[in-house]
Amino acid sequence: MSKAPENWFEDIYADSDISGKGVPWATREPAPLLVQWLDAAHPTGHGEAAMVVGCGLGDDALEMARRGFTVTAFDVAESAIELARERFGELAVDWHVGELFDTPTSWSRAFDVVVEHRTVQSLPPQWQDRGQAAIADFVAPGGQLMLVADLRPAGAPKDGPPWRLRPEELDALAAAGLQLEHERQVPVAHEPTRTRLLRVYRRR
């Protein structure tokens, strides 16, 4: 097995600009499920360390910083980070170009809140368990992981990208020491036949 799956994101972001044109998932606003969860669980941060995995154009990182978290955000696509810095360079966000499977050792169990919004499903199936373990490793003792994934209907073929997930395909997070605290399934607003999964885990 090679070091990491192919980075197919760079070409997409390299052809875009701060408007997000050509990036199918770029809405230029924070993820609604993230906002809803933060409103309920963390309306105001007090400098807690937060990590945004696969931050793209940076809207989720902006939301975390706006609420008072100390935010680190990374993406495998250098062009995505360049655009995020261009959009939000005045924010106190620690932006990084980084590969999920090759992150600084100082990030291990260092973050009170970790946000993972549809990153696992962007990995080819053979990399998803390893990706979950890598994301789980960011979570500090007592910290939380908020994960969002698109659900694949039971019996539907696993094709992608993205490779939509079944709930049982997230078991590697528990194996990595995280305990499921909360789960919610919601229809996608603009595509009601699709369902999105929100899960919150904690490292005890």
Instruction: For 142, list phi and psi in degrees, rounded to 5.
Output: 85, -5
Regions of the chain with pLDDT less than 70: 1-6
Largest distance between two CA atoms of the chain: 47
H or E element: which one contains 61? helix 59-66
Task: Write the CATH number of the domain with boundaries 99-203.
Answer: 3.40.50.150
Residue 184 contacts residue 178 (beta carbons within 8 Å): no
Place of tokens 């360079």: 89
In this predicted structure, what is the pLDDT of residue 3? Answer: 61
Whole-model pTM: value is: 0.93
- List the domain boundaries for the chain: 99-203
pLDDT, tens digit (0-9, with 9 covering 90-100), for 53-80: 999 999 999 999 999 999 999 999 999 9
pLDDT value of position 1:
43
Contacts of 179 (CB under 8 A, 6+ apart): 201, 202, 203, 204
CA distances from 103 to 96, 122, 135, 161 (A): 10, 18, 10, 23
